[in-house]
Structure 1
Amino acid sequence: MALLLISSYFILAKSAAPTWTYDTGLYHAQAIRWIEEYPVIPGLGNLHSRLAFNSAWFLPNALFGFSFLKLGPFHVLNGFLSLIILATSLNGLSNLIKRKYYFSNILRAGMALPVIFIFKDQLLSPTPDIPVALLTCAVFIYYVQLQEQGDEAPSRLLALGIVLLSTFAITIKLSALPLTLFIVVLTGREIAQGRPVNLFLTSGAVLLLVLPFFLRNIWLSGYPLYPFPGLDLFSLDWKIPTSATLVEKRAIVEFARDP
């Protein structure tokens, strides 16, 4: 409990500091502000190409920014998520102390390390990088736990959680697309074991996450996925020109190769 209280104070202090993250100044804060002030605007990416970078993480940041208080934006969700991860990590450490030497507990105990040593200076930003990284770690750990549990009833609920967390991470940032591997594996398992009800419920939950994501993409940029001009499925008045989309795509690729 003492460790959790100390960690909470650390995260609160970091979350209350001014942000210095470059991308937050470039488009994170602006995208969230547009969400706070207006409904989704067709072709907003034509005003600034990065405003078409649709991240599901911006929506809850706008909701819990409490802009109506006129006290400045409260970008605290990354801190809140980090606090949950730290609590989970301490739970894993507690299990190890109780001699529950499962590999998932070892991994869970180590989840505090990226929060403390890697993301500590980004907690004050609404950057989607933190939730994607932490959710990816969580998905892997829960998958390990799923293998440890076997085919028990609680593991089916855990499998659903893994699929939903993977889907949510992908809608936050497309760099999480490799998580589709977990979705495919777990979906294939449900099909192989003949559980149509589980498959139906999982598909419905995934659709609830994915459909709004694609619709917002189309509304903001004219593309189902931006900036991927290869998926040019609609002829819309507000669509960002293909040439501009290609420039944005090349910029992302080049930055990934040489930041």
Structure 2
Amino acid sequence: MIVYFFLCFIISFIFTIIGYVFILKTDKNGKYDFFDVFFIGICVVGAILNLWSLLLPTNKFSFFFLLFLSLFCLYLINKQKSLKISSFYLKLKRYKSQTFQLLVILITIIIVLFSSMVTPRLFDSHLYHIGAIQWNEMYNVVPGLGNFHDRFGFNSSFFVMSAAFTFSSFLNQSVYLLSSLVFLIFYLWLIKIAFEKKGIIAFLCVFYMYFFYEQYTLDISSPGSDLLPNILISFLLFKFLILNKNMKNQYLILIIIPIFCVTLKLSMVPFLLFSLMALFYRHNKINAFKYLLLYGIIFILPWIIRNIILTGYLLYPFEGIDFFNFDWKVPVEKVQETKGWVYSWAKIPFYNYKEVLDKSFTDWFVIWWEMKDLKNRRLFSIALISPLLFIFALICNKNKFNKNIVLSYFICYLSFVFWLFQAPDFRFSFSIILILNVFIIMIIFNYKIFQHKYIMHGINIFMISTLLILAEKSFILFSEDYNINIPKTYLFKPIDYKSYVKNCQAKFIKNKYYLKNNKEVILYGIDPINASRCFDAFPCSAYLNENIKLRGNSLNDGFKYEKK
């Protein structure tokens, strides 16, 4: 735990300082608090590391580069006396005499701490997330890595960022703190909003915290690629759809977050409409396109170059966008198969992908619906019919909703439809479903009712009760790895992931491959007992076959596919 807090503080410092400098140079007249700066900083650091990874591994050296860059920026900021962030830390002073607020913050920290200390539990983290992070730590971007393991071609910026913050060189084990840190900051922001706005907003913040935790419990300790984009989109939608913040004062959030989210998860593409909306709101057409090109070069171009090097395609797995013919290019039929499994698994898992994709919408939807639990069915149903309720509310009170709210809702619902017809796995875009639910609850219930003092007391009881329920859930999860009565097992640092792999009795098969200089290398395959999971074996793939060849004199030279 001590290591967790120390490292989280350092990472937060890096995100905050770099985010602040970026704002200072691009929108110094905007109004941004600590949380805005933190989340913008994540996006900027992600872009820096994507660029770094084209030439060098993202490991301890990239971490020290970011740390020294942050310290240098802090020195310049202090020298110019330009640090004027409305910081969360400064606002903590007002909570000194407010015991209830401090109690809520403490319980929230405990919830995230217990959840973050457990070993990674996500199946996909065992399957390829951890392996993808290892490749980024060991090498700069590897040509044709998608041939070695098709999932390594997915190229989420989250894996590049995580590689810089595993601290494996210092702790003799890898720790995956990024998800839990961002989760904690997001929940502290929701608590801040609940205390400031009170009433229905406070209720909705707690409602959101409960269901969001229920969905992403295991993601908090795992280096998965679903949690971060959903937190960033939640932050954006809460601000501009639920809280109706002034877009003019915080337009960088609308530009940077959607663009960067695309590099985390391609399913976030519809949110690029927010970026376009903000740019055209702020600039004329010519300047809007200029800034769009500039931000695209900063945040998208390094990621696209990584796509090309990893797979031979601009976007993977989309074989239709095909401009290159490198020897490391993943075969078209393999790309089609991978895309088929992504779409089909989200609709009906464990079925053959061709069988699923051949089904009509009504055929697969019936099966998909039957596989969902009651909670998700209800959340989905409310999100689905939300346009009817919103249109009715618009008719009844046109002045209640300004243009920005209408546009924000439209983009949110468009993203929901995109998710439903493409890859309707709840974990991919749960934030969208939950936000639509929150928005409908907000417009149905009368604000004045929630301002009554007895209702306010009820909301406080609801808040503390909900958090205690989550604390119990997190403690039960924590107890699976630790004995609370033996502090030495968790007080310093989390349990080593290798011990979890050992307990799983994972088995690996050594395969001899040869580099161009005839030097022998071992590539690990998997035993059937692993269920396609490589865990932390390196280099490992569940899809090794005789058609995969090494391109050069080291693993960094990559892989190619030569069909016999």
The answer for unaligned runs of 5 or more in structure 1 is 150-154
The answer for the alignment partner of 1:244 in structure 2 is 334
Q: How does 1:72-221 map to 2 (within 5 A)?
A: 72-97=173-198, 110-144=207-241, 147-149=244-246, 155-191=247-283, 194=284, 200-201=290-291, 203-221=293-311
8 Å contact kept, 1:45–1:51? yes
Rounded Cα–Cα distance in structure 1 between residues aligned with 2:159 and 2:134: 9
Cα distance in 2 for residues equivalent to 1:57 and 1:174: 12
Q: CA deviation at 1:256?
A: 1.8
Q: How many Å separate the matches in 2 of 1:165 and 1:107? A: 23
- SS at structure 2 position matched to 1:160: helix
Q: CA contact under 8 A between 1:36 and 1:62: conserved in structure 2?
A: yes
Post-superposition offset of 1:13: 1.7
Aligned with 2:326: secondary structure?
Answer: coil
- TM-aligned CA deviation for residue 2 of structure 1: 2.3
Distance 2:192 2:259 in 1: 25
- Between 1:177-186 and 1:54-63, the stretch displaced more is 177-186
C-alpha distance in 2 between matches for 1:20 and 1:61:
16
SS in 2 for 1:156: coil
- Report how far residue 132 of structure 1 moved: 1.6
Is 2:108 the counterpart of 1:15? no
**Which SS does the other structure have where 1:57 is aligned?**
helix
User: Per-residue deviation at 1:196?
Assistant: 6.5
Number of aligned residue pairs: give it.
248
**In 2 relative to 1, CA 197–217 (structure 1 residues): closer, same or farther, beyond 3 Å?**
same
Identical counterparts, % of pairs: 28
Partner letter of residue 170 of structure 1? Answer: V
Q: 1:181 to 1:205 in 2, by over 3 A?
A: closer
- Are 1:85 and 1:112, in contact at CA under 8 Å, matched by a contact in 2? no
- Cα deviation, residue 187, structure 1: 2.6
Contact 1:88 1:108 in 2 (8 A): no
Q: Residue by residue, what CA displacement relative to the aligned partner does 1:7-61 show, whole Å, maximum 9, x if unpaired?
A: 1122122111112211101110000001011111111111111111100111111
Counterpart residue identity of residue 248, structure 2: R
Deviation of residue 197 (structure 1)? Answer: 6.2
> Do the aligned residues in 1 keep the contact of 2:279 with 2:288 (CA within 8 Å)?
no
- Report the TM-score, using the length of structure 1 for normalisation: 0.87
In structure 1, how many angstroms separate the alpha carbons of the residues matched to 2:234 and 2:323?
A: 34
Taking structure 1 as reference, are residues 179 and 80 closer, same or farther at Cα in structure 2, changes over 3 Å only? same
In the TM superposition, what is the alpha-carbon distance from 1:241 to its structure 2 partner? 0.6
Aligned partners of 2:292, 2:339: CA distance in 1, in Å? Answer: 32
> Aligned partners of 2:260, 2:205: CA distance in 1, in Å?
20
Distance in 2, matches of 1:195 and 1:224, equals 27
Contact 1:159–1:186 under 8 Å retained in 2: yes
CA deviations 1:206-251 (Å, max 9, x no partner) are 4211011101100100001011000111111110011111110111
Q: Measure the CA separation in 1 of the matches of 2:286 and 2:196.
A: 35
Contact 1:92–1:106 (8 Å) recurs in 2:
no
Which amino acid is 2:210 matched to? L
Alpha-carbon displacement from aligned partner over 1:67-116 (angstroms, at most 9, x marks no partner)? 2125321111110011111111011111123x7x7x6x775565423443
The aligned amino acid for 2:227 is I
Cα 1:146/1:186, change in 2 over 3 Å = farther
1:57 to 145, 149, 158: 158
Note closer, same or farther for the CA distance 1:242–1:46 as it changes in structure 2 (3 Å cut). Answer: same
Distance 1:250 1:17 in 2: 33
1:46 aligns to what? 147
Question: What is the aligned partner in structure 2 of residue 152 from structure 1?
Answer: none
Rounded Cα–Cα distance in structure 2 between residues aligned with 1:107 and 1:187: 30
Partners in 2 of 1:82 and 1:231 — Cα distance? 35
Shift of 1:141: 1.8
The separation in 1 between residues aligned to 2:335 and 2:150, in whole angstroms, is: 8
CA-based RMSD: 2.3
The letter for the 1-side match of 2:274 is F
TM-score normalised to structure 2 length: 0.41
Contact 1:75 1:125 in 2 (8 A): yes
